């Protein structure tokens, strides 16, 4: 069903995901070290104001695991639909192409590339 992905693309995706998790772990560690307040935000609080601003790395892992399981179940249920498979592939390519957009918007907002994050 759909077009077959090459093994190298799968390996590239796995390496990128592991790298992003390593960077996220580093950010959580630095953020907790520099924290002035003792108030921590957790996934279990279900406060949308702090979505993706949690204090603990394990909350990010838990959310990503849950999201992955949800997507896997939906994909397994709709695997026989060629439209779904092609749409999923197109969305994946679109999201990958837009990875630099947040940095572009930040640079545009700052009118500079000085202090790029």
Give strand ranges (E) for 1-117. Answer: none
3 in helix, strand or coil?
Answer: coil
CA distance 50 to 85: 33
pLDDT at 27 over 80: yes
Any idea what DSSP says for residue 45?
A: G
CA distance 56 to 53: 9
11-15, 21-25, 26-30, 38-42: least confidently modelled range: 38-42
Q: State CA 55 to chain mean position distance.
A: 16
Q: State the pLDDT confidence band at 64, using cuts at 50, 70 and 90.
A: very high
- Residue pair 79/85 in contact by the 8 Å Cβ criterion: yes
- Residue pair 24/102 in contact by the 8 Å Cβ criterion: no
CA distance 14 to 8: 10
């Amino acid at each position: 069903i759909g077009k077959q992905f090459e093994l190298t693309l799968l390996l590239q995706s796995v390496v990128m995901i592991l790298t992003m998790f390593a960077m996220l772990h580093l950010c959580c560690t630095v953020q907790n070290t520099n924290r002035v307040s003792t108030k921590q935000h957790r996934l279990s609080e279900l406060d949308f104001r702090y979505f993706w601003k949690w204090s603990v790395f394990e909350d990010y892992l838990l959310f990503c695991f849950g999201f992955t399981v949800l997507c896997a179940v939906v994909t397994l249920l709709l695997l026989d639909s060629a439209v779904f498979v092609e749409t999923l592939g197109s969305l994946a390519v679109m999201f990958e192409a837009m990875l630099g957009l947040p940095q572009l918007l930040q640079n545009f907002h700052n009118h500079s590339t000085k202090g790029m994050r």
